[in-house]
Structures are given as structure tokens and as C-alpha cells.
Structure 1
Amino acid sequence: MYSRIARSVAAALAVGAIGTLAAVGSARAAGFSLPEASTAGIGTANAMVANPKDLGAIPYNAAAMGFHDKSSVALGALMIGPSFSVTTASGSHDSNGADWVGVPMIQAAIKVADRWRVGLGLTAPFGLETRWPYGTFPALSQSATVRLPAPVGRVSIPTASHPTNSKLEILDLAPSVAFRVNEDLSLAAGLDIYWAKSAELNSNLGSMSGDGTGVGFNLGLLYRVGALGLGASFHSASTLGLSGNFTPSNTTLVALGRLPQGQSASLDLDLPWRLQLGARYEFTKELAAEFDWSYTGWSKFQQLVVTGDRTGARISTETNAWKNSGAYRLGLTWQVRPTTQLRLGYAYDETGQGDNYFSARVPDNNRQTFGIGVAQDLGRGFSVEAGYMYVMGEKRNVRSAVPYTSTSGVNGTNALNGQYEMSANLIGIELVMTF
């Protein structure tokens, strides 16, 4: 009996703890995406891909550089205050993660010739932090009492891996180049150099920490005809090779040789491709509106396969089976004074996470986003921008009829049944210099 339980524990640990790496809960866009790349984007709910005027559009579409006659540098930060909660059979529980998480928003666009611009941006497009208290999910918090040979005697060991806290932060260093084909058309291309700066995973059985890198590419197009602007931006999928160290916390299983003292492991994390199309219309010189449609290739996020570095053998496999999802964004910009611009935005994001493999690591659902922002010209080439965004997720009632067993995966089973809720507050500020 003990041997069967221990094998189940080890399998659950590998899947539940290491699988957290790509399934960190996010308080932002569908899945674990963070599309906010500038303060202007925060105020317009990320409807910026067809904007040839505002510098804050460059991180969304590098082709926007071609329409700016001056060089520019923007330095800013995004502060995110997420809130997750779930009501299960054991009561109501909050995900007690960090109250606020800060990520960078940095963008430089340099004019090198009449038709050529080069850019370099730094953002955090994926990741966040969640913490579920032990006992949140009763079926994953149970233990079994077994009798072992003397002198050990009767011991209590866990029968499943209960997720506790998870943290993931991915930075994207994006060099790019833009070419102004003519007065109305600009094209751009660049790289997305990803770095999983922080990846920390904890469960009741152990923890894992590590990092890794990956590379993708991006393309941009921006066309302007009269008062109409049309834009398109594409970021390719990418695979990050992550490596780290697993540290068990259950001393009983370690002493009995059922869990290793410590083991290095690797995991390939597949990031989705992203497509954004937009149309912007200037009703007057002061007032403009943009509608964008975004589509994210979450179908790339199918499985998480953990491999032991010493043996090269597969340790575990976790199925996610996500689907591609869309988002609809509307942004308004109003130049209320020659030196002051106001921004408003609304977006509706669809989740890519279905019911069959629902994961508490990403308690995702459809959500609505409301943004407001302001930009103030300070003179002498300087301006300051600020934005606020509120994210309101729809409640998600998980009522799976699939029974959880110690030998099955957790995703999509009744072990995660409950009512999930989420919201988030986001604040961004930037200092912009043109020269």
C-alpha cells in the first residue's frame, strides 16, 4: 500500500509543482499574458496598433516609428495589484500573492536616416504571482496513515501535491527596425528575446526555482490614408528552455527514498503567437477612435513535459489543451488642449482555457477591461504620462464531474471545483523625451 501511495505522491509532485511554471495565474489578459506595453496603451485598453501619432503605440507596432520625425526615449513602470479568490468545500480563500507587482515599460526609437528608424524595447509580456493557502482544495490536502517497519512505525504522508505559491516573470527585450516606404506606409521587423527572469514554484511536497531564455520574431505594418489608419502586428510563438533545481520538503518521503534529496530538471515552455489588427479614425484633429482585434495562439500551450537532467527520462506530463482566443479593444484619444491629451479605453478578452483541463494555477475566464489616462507636455521635449486600468473578470463556476484520483492529473477534475473570482488594478507612469 505504501509503495502505491508513494509513487502517486511522486507523480503528483512532478506534475503539480513543476507544471506551475507555465501556468502562473495572471490578473490581466486571457491566460498568463500581460499585453500592457506603454502608459498610452493602459489608457486605451491596448488599442494602439493603428496609431501613427502617439509614441506609446511603438511597443504595440514597431512600424509606428516610421511616422515620427524625432527620436524618443520613454521610461516607465507598470504596477499591478491582482486579486484572486475561490470558494470551495473548505470555505472562501484568497490568493495571498504580492499586493503589488512592478514591471518595466521602456522604449527607445532612434531616427538613423530619413526613411529608417531603429528601436529597442523592454517589457514583461507574460507572468504574475499567485498563492493558494494549503487546504484551499480539500481533495489535494488529504494524507494517508501507513505502517512502516520499525523503528519508523506509523507515519502520515500526503496523497497529492497541493499547489501553494507560484511566481513567473518573463521579460522581452525587443530590438526592431522600421522603414518608411512612402508618406503613408511604414514596415517593421524585429526580435523578441525572452528571459524567464524569475520562476518559483511551491507545493506542500516541494519547490522548484529556475530561469531560461527563448527567441521569437515580430513584424509590423502601419498604413495611413487621410484620417484613417490601418495597422497590423504579429509576434511569433517561442519556446523557452527552462532549467532549475527541485527541493523536496517532505522529509519522510526523502528518508524512505521515495523522493530525491534534490534534482535538477528542465522544461520547455511554449509561449503563444500574438496577432493584433486595428483601424483608427480621426474625426477631428483633436478626437480619434481606434478599434482593435487581437488573437492569441494559446493552442501552442498544449503540454508541459518535465525531463530529468541526469537521466534524460521524462518525469511527468501535464495536459493543458488550451484553444486560441480573441480580444476586442476600443480606445479614444482627445487632445483637450495643445499640451494635454486624455485617453479612454474598453476591452473584452476571451479566455483560452476550456473546462476539460481547467487549472487553478490559471483561474482564467472572460473579462472586461476599463482604462483611462492622461499625457501632459512639459515643454523642451519632455512629457509625462499616467494611466489607470481596472480588470473585471467574470465569475467562473467549476463543477467538474470527472473524479480526481491520486494517479490522475488534477486539471479538469472535481478536486478543483469551486467558484473563482478575479479583478485587478493597474497603474502606469512614464516620462517621455523627444530629441
Structure 2
Amino acid sequence: MRRANFELPTLAAAVLGLCASSNAVAGGFAVPELSTAGIGTTNALVANPDERGAIVYNPAAMAFHDQSSINTGLLLLAPDSHVDIPGGGGDATNADWFVAPMIQAAIRINEDWSAGLGVTAPFGLETRWAPNTFPALTGRAALPSPPFAPGSSVPLSPQPTQSKLEIVNFTPTATYRVTPELALSAGADIYWAKAAQLDSTITELEGEGTGWGFNLSAMYVKDRFSAGINFHSAPTVSLDGTFSVLDPNLVLLGAAPPSQTAELDVDLPWRLQVGVRYEIIQDQLAVELDWTRNGWSEFQEIKVVGDRTGTTLIEDQNQWDDSNAFRLGLTYNLVEQTQLRLGYSFDETPQGDEFFSARVPDNDRHLFGLGVAHKLNDRIQLELGYMYVMLEDRDFRSTRPYDPVNAPGDINGTTALNGDYSSEVHLIGLELSTSFDAF
């Protein structure tokens, strides 16, 4: 066996799992659900000057609120994935529920200035595949005897098993009301990758790290019409992790590097949202249309550097494309204390067939949301939202053969992953908000 047969491909298959999850709620591995109001309207809130839960989508909305507010809540997700492959396939062993924070504070300083802080989880989720899911990746290679015991063998291919990524974003912002109709906002995006883990049948890789970017937004409100725009820059999250080889025979053969610490930079996409909103019935029924552009073309390569040697252990190409999302949201004030919400979105996938990954069996998706908000009194509001995400089935058929002998780790986009993939996600948001006079 040659060292190249295992070292770089094995790391490539491992590292891909750090950056993606097959059950993300938007294209790629984004989770754009940032508030319970967003869940009910399928994230069509960038032009909404009224709802407290809209501030996290467009901080400039703070300028049009008469009081300060604090929203605290949880986002719960239940993903389900399945693949049909001749001789294999089956359900992914997903975590029963994935829980993410939703926190937003908006402080009204005076008539012109406001300050905010959001805590959300815009990227992540978790997927697990059983070791026998992909038959083409379950083979083993016989070892010579001696020096190894007769009948000894090592895994021939690194089948993906578990991928996990949890990124929390802290977003401090400042908003200035330029005119009675126009407000501008700017802030920082501080990303904390609190958990990044990848397991395969050959390797394990886990780590954590941080990164930062910036955000800019604006909102214009005139009578029943409003328009908003929000931009988040493309951050780089630097991860420090530990790479381990599960079978020590691979290290003895020189087919894989020994366990060591390593560094990885993950380029996340920029995000642009533009929306318009109109009150069809003043103070009662409003409709909003949003367009979102996600800059997944930033996610071009993954490069892992070993701390022991200082050399590049892997440099893998992804070549994802920028993608669009189209969102429709409705809000209806049933009575003064109670609001109903409804939404639909269509999200494009950024992933083409050439680099299709079992860790990210992504496809175009449809989002359906509904929600309710009820004022318990003049200051406290309770909100509940539900969303169903249906990924279009992806019948992946590659014409590029998988070569388990010369390129055992070169899995993505090959015939080893041929199959029919289906996924769905259920989301529940629960949030409590309170308003108050800060100054």
C-alpha cells in the first residue's frame, strides 16, 4: 500500500463532515430560523418594523420600536434522513431533537439611537449514518503476514458515520434613525464553533474555534409600506482540533498519519436579504416578500494543517455555488392581543452533483410555517411557531467510478454514493418577549 492511498483522502472525507450537516434547514448547512416570528413566517421578516422577533433579521427595525425589549427562546429541530441504495441504505440515526438558542435584546437609548445584541445559531446540525449504509465503502484490505497476523485487514474506505457542527453567533449592533422614515444599522458578527465533530469508519476529527465578520442593514417605512435590507459578511472560522486514526495498523503501514492536533479554516457564506412589506388592511393584515442570496461560492476549499509537521495535510475542493431563497410571509391580527402568522419559502441548494456528499445530501427545499403570538399583558408576549421543511428527493447517479484501491478517500461525487436520498425537518420555536422603558 502507498501512503497517499489513505492519508490525504481519509482526511478529506473526515474534514468535510466538520462543515456540513445533511439536515440543515436552508441550502447548504445554514439555519436561518432566528426567532419564533421567523419560524411562523418562514424567515420573511427583513422589512417588518413592528414585530420584536424581526429585529434579529434586520437590526434597523429597532429604530421604529417605542420601547426596549428582550426576547428569549429556544429553537427545537427534529431531522429525518433516508437513503435507498442497492444492498444498503437506511435511515440516518439523527439526534432526537437539536436545540438552539434564540436571544435578542434591543435597548432604546433615545429617539435617534438604539443598541442590540442577538445570540443565534445560524449554521449547524447533526447527522449520523450506520457503518453499513454504503456497501461500496465497507470493504477491507488484507495485510501481509508476516509481519501482521494471518487474516489481518484494515478498512479500505472511510465511510462517513457522524457529522456535527454547532456555531453560535453573537451580534452586537447599533442603530441610528436618520429621518422619521429611514434607519441605518451596523454591527459585528462574532462566531463561536462550540462543537465541530466528524467520525468515519477510519478516523475521528473534532475541534472548536472562533471567527468574526460584520453586518449592515437599513429600513424604510412610509405609511403602510416598508422595505428592508440586511447584509452579513463572509466570515472565516478558525478551528483547532484533534485528528485520530481508529485502526493503529494504518499508522504502522504508513498509510495514515499518527494522531495529532491540526488547524482548519472554514469559510462561511455571506448573506444578503432584501424585502418589501405592505399592510393590506392597516394594523391588521400585512404581506411580505423577501429575497435572500447566500454566498456559498466562498465555500471553495477545505485545508487542514498539522501542528506537528506544519505541512498541509489536506486541500480539498468543494466548488459550491451561490444560491437564492424566495420567501412569503403573512401576519394577521386576529384581535388586539393575538396575531396569527403564515409563511412559505423556496430555498435553492448550492451543491452540484460533481461534489455531492453523503454528509450533505442537499437539495432544493420547501418551507411551510405557521405561528401565533399572544400578549399576556401590555409588556409580556408569548410566541409559538412551527415549520415543516421538505427537501425534494435527490436521485443521485454518478458516472465517475469509485476507486477503492488507488483513491479510497475520493468518495464525493462517485458511484459509491449512488442512491435515492430523502430528508425532512420539523421545527418548533417557543419564545417569551418583554418590553420596557430603559431610559
Q: If the length of structure 1 is used for normalisation, what is the TM-score?
A: 0.97
> Structure 2 counterpart of 1:296, which letter?
N
1:197-236 superposed matches below 5 A: 197-236=194-233
Separation in 2 of the partners of 1:65 and 1:88?
A: 51
The runs of at least 4 consecutive aligned structure 1 residues that moved more than 4 Å come to none
Mapped pair 1:422 → 2:420: no
Partner of 2:260: 263
> Structure 1 counterpart of 2:366, which letter?
Q
> Structure 1 counterpart of 2:344, which letter?
Y
Partner of 2:363: 365
Partner of 2:188: 191
Partner of 1:287: 285
Partner of 1:74: 71
Q: CA deviation at 1:139?
A: 1.7
Q: CA deviation at 1:7?
A: 3.6
Q: For 1:147, what is the secondary structure of its paired residue?
A: coil
Native 8 Å contact 2:88 2:134 kept in 1: no
Q: For 1:231, what is the secondary structure of its paired residue?
A: strand
Native 8 Å contact 1:391 1:423 kept in 2: yes
Partner of 1:434: 435
2:97 to 95, 100, 125: 100
1:107-122 superposed matches below 5 A: 107-122=104-119
Mapped pair 1:179 → 2:180: no
1:317 to 315, 324, 328: 315
Q: CA deviation at 1:151?
A: 5.6
> Structure 1 counterpart of 2:403, which letter?
T
Native 8 Å contact 1:9 1:158 kept in 2: no
1:302 to 300, 303, 317: 300
Measured on the aligned residues, the alpha-carbon RMSD in Å equals: 1.2
Mapped pair 1:17 → 2:42: no
Partner of 2:393: 395
Instruction: Name whichever of 405-414 and 390-399 sits farther off.
Output: 405-414
Instruction: Name whichever of 170-179 and 147-156 sits farther off.
Output: 147-156
Partner of 1:345: 343
Partner of 1:56: 53
Separation in 2 of the partners of 1:282 and 1:352?
A: 33
2:43 to 35, 41, 46: 46
Q: For 2:84, what is the secondary structure of its paired residue?
A: strand
> Structure 2 counterpart of 1:142, which letter?
G
Native 8 Å contact 2:7 2:257 kept in 1: no
Fraction of identical pairs, as percent: 50
Q: CA deviation at 1:251?
A: 2.8
Q: For 2:376, what is the secondary structure of its paired residue?
A: strand
Separation in 2 of the partners of 1:14 and 1:148?
A: 27
Native 8 Å contact 2:118 2:170 kept in 1: yes
Native 8 Å contact 1:8 1:160 kept in 2: no
Native 8 Å contact 2:23 2:423 kept in 1: no
Separation in 1 of the partners of 2:43 and 2:388?
A: 13
> Structure 2 counterpart of 1:416, which letter?
L
Native 8 Å contact 2:23 2:80 kept in 1: no
Separation in 2 of the partners of 1:240 and 1:136?
A: 31
Q: If the length of structure 2 is used for normalisation, what is the TM-score?
A: 0.96
Separation in 2 of the partners of 1:189 and 1:89?
A: 52
Partner of 1:384: 382
Q: Which runs of 5+ in 1 are unaligned?
A: none
Matched positions, count: 432
Separation in 1 of the partners of 2:98 and 2:128?
A: 14
1:136-175 superposed matches below 5 A: 136-150=133-147, 152-175=149-172
Q: For 2:60, what is the secondary structure of its paired residue?
A: helix
> Structure 2 counterpart of 1:384, which letter?
L
Native 8 Å contact 2:5 2:255 kept in 1: no
Separation in 2 of the partners of 1:190 and 1:288?
A: 28
Partner of 1:245: 242
Separation in 2 of the partners of 1:412 and 1:257?
A: 27
Partner of 1:332: 330
Query: Residue deviations 1:5-40, cap 9 Å, x none?
Result: x54122332111122111232330000000001000
Query: Residue deviations 1:39-94, cap 9 Å, x none?
Result: 00000000000000111110000100010010000000000000111111223311
Separation in 2 of the partners of 1:40 and 1:372?
A: 9
> Structure 2 counterpart of 1:266, which letter?
E
Instruction: Name whichever of 172-181 and 200-209 sits farther off.
Output: 200-209
> Structure 2 counterpart of 1:378, which letter?
L
> Structure 1 counterpart of 2:43, which letter?
N
Mapped pair 1:33 → 2:48: no
Q: For 1:148, what is the secondary structure of its paired residue?
A: coil
Separation in 2 of the partners of 1:73 and 1:182?
A: 25
Q: Which runs of 5+ in 2 are unaligned?
A: none
Mapped pair 1:124 → 2:118: no
Native 8 Å contact 2:191 2:211 kept in 1: yes
